[in-house]
Structure 1
Amino acid sequence: MKTEVYGHFHPDERQFVDKAWEWVTHAGEYHETKLTEFLDPRQGFILQSLVNRHPDVIVRWEGGHPEAERKRALIAPDYRDLDHEDMELRVLAITSGEQKFLALEHGDYMGSILGLGVKRGKIGDIHVLEDGCHVVVAADIADYLAMNLTGVHRIQVSTKVLPLSALRNSEVKLEMMDLTVASLRLDGIAAEVTRLSRSKILAPIKAGRVRVNWKVEEDPSCGLKDGDMVSIQGFGRFKVLEVGSLTKKGRYRVQVGKFV
């Protein structure tokens, strides 16, 4: 089974595949339930595909709202009713009286929370709002964060733990970019978005620091298409919104949304 499973995934994902398959088999064979930490969409895809291979296992997903990117999974034997199970999620509401607070961004909040020694898997989506920030967190670290998160990017903040039902989710903000590129290769489009040279963008790609649809992609010639999500460690992420018609010189018109 292991060989068959591994054939579909990147070698870097083997450790997670092992762990996820263990959760699934323990649910199916030993009637155990497992509440995971927050998983990214790629990990979610892997886990769901493994659950689909086991006839006696079900999984429930929860990330705070229907479009949540990072979600917790509850894996259980198929006879369990998971609809009313506690997914152990809370909302950390962050506010401040300082005017500069409203200029804080997603990365500022993430950096300050992780700076408290919290694992990434304990943090779900971060919603930057007009008047503050709502962060979906695991219930077991909510009080710790509320007590210890006193500042974000050198700005003093106040925190409060709320139930998941109080979550206010933010609209995704994209900086629109209209590009013309010679091909739909990953390196070409990524170079345009990051404003790096074609040779410089090769370094993070070949170092495994680029993900396409949350999967590590080390091939610079990988072709991108509508809907693809690309993240580059240290440079943020972008989404290919539309591949349009060719120009008279045979270049591709591509509309990209860069997450801000």
Structure 2
Amino acid sequence: MPQQDLYAHFHPDERAFVDRAWEWVQRAAEYHEVRRTDFLDPRQAHILFTLANRHPDVALRLDGGSPDAERRRSLVAPDYRPLEHEPIGIAVLSVASDDRRIGELDHGDYLGALLGLGIKREKIGDLHVREDGCHALIAEEIGDFLRTHLRQVHRAEVSTEVLPLDRLREVKTELEESVISVASMRLDGVASDAFRLSRSKIVDPIRSGRCRVNWKTVEDPSYALREGDVVSLKGFGRFKVLAAEGVSKSGRNRVRIGKFV
């Protein structure tokens, strides 16, 4: 495939991953290799899926350990290789504590503790946070290391255990819904209301590449959002456009959004 065609539908920042993913696809087709990747975010999974579909001799399986998983590992293989029973290499790290402050910990606390041990983000899947602890989906090859070394999350002392996938206690993602009124569906307008920032303060982070829509970097403040879009702004969180609920008498758009909590 010509190089320019390979990059045609992807952001320039994604070229390094596109190159890696295309190499996995080519090696599966030409050298009959089976590649198990680290956890991919939804945008990376989409890129790999798109590239794999361009090659008739390649099969792909994506699995995050639960049906609604956001981050997933993949298996890339020649098309004659059945993948449904291939080990995906995901385990559950159970984090618990007798410290009553465990109930105050959030997603960022657990993720920060794991990354603070030198673990790459790509080795960690979804985190299922509960009041009594957390079940983190992890690459099984780092299970023993985490079980031995993770002893504290924020200020709470914790104990850990590595469990098989069928012991996962899944927590559904919660959205804090609200209705905002905006002049249009422009990214900067919706995001400024969602994050409660002035329009002037939202534009610079967007233009500097800190904003993603559906896990793809978007640097144009005038980008038009649609229902179902997931918007993240580094340092501020993320929200989903749930519904466009019509136009008010004053001509403004009513938009229902859900902020991830």
CA drift of 1:131 comes to 2.2
Secondary structure, aligned partner of 1:137: strand
The amino acid of 1:15's aligned partner reads A
Map 1:1-260; keep pairs closer than 5 Å: 1=1, 2-260=3-261
Q: How far off its partner does 1:19 sit?
A: 0.3
One-letter code aligned to 2:235: G
Q: Which amino acid aligns with 1:88?
A: G
Question: What's the CA shift string for 1:151-194, capped at 9, x where partnerless?
Answer: 11111111100011111110111111110011110001111111
**Structure 1 residue matching 2:192: 3-state secondary structure:** helix
Q: TM-score, normalised by structure 1?
A: 0.99
Write the letter of the residue equivalent to 1:43.
Q
Structure 1 runs, 4 residues or longer, greater than 2 Å off: none
1:22-71 CA-partner distances (Å, limit 9, x unpaired) = 00000000101100000000000000000000000001111011110000
Residue identity in the other structure for 2:207: K
The letter of the residue matching 2:30 is E
Structure 1 portions without partners, runs of 5+: none
TM-score of the superposed pair, with normalisation by structure 2: 0.98
1:94 aligned counterpart, secondary structure: strand
**Cα deviation per residue 1:186-237 (whole Å; 9 max; x = unaligned)?**
0011111111110000111011010000000000000111100001000010
Distance across 2 between alignment mates of 1:178 and 1:81? 47
Aligned partners of 1:168, 1:57: CA distance in 2, in Å? Answer: 33
Report the CA distance between 1:146 and its aligned residue.
1.0
* Cα contact 2:183–2:252 (8 A) shared by 1: yes
Structure 2 residue identity aligned to 1:241: L
Secondary structure in 1 matching 2:117 = coil
Secondary structure of 1:9's counterpart equals coil
The alignment partner of 1:256 has SS state of strand
**Counterparts of 1:52 and 1:7, CA distance in 2:** 15
SS of 1:125's equivalent in the other structure is: strand
Aligned residue for 1:82, secondary structure, equals coil
Classify the secondary structure of the residue corresponding to 2:223.
coil
Cα deviations across residues 57-87 of structure 1 (Å, max 9, x unaligned)?
A: 0011110111100000000001111111111
Q: State the Cα RMSD in Å.
A: 0.7
- Once residues 8 and 19 of structure 1 are traced to their aligned partners in structure 2, the CA distance between those partners, rounded to angstroms, is 16
- Distance in 2, Cα, partners of 1:175 & 1:83: 36
Distance in 1 (alpha carbons) for counterparts of 2:96 and 2:235: 27
Which one-letter code corresponds to 1:251 in the other structure? R
Task: Look up the SS of the partner of 1:64 in the other structure.
Answer: coil
Cα deviation 1:90-138 (Å, max 9, x = unaligned) = 0000011111111211111011100100000000000112321100000
Count of aligned positions: 260
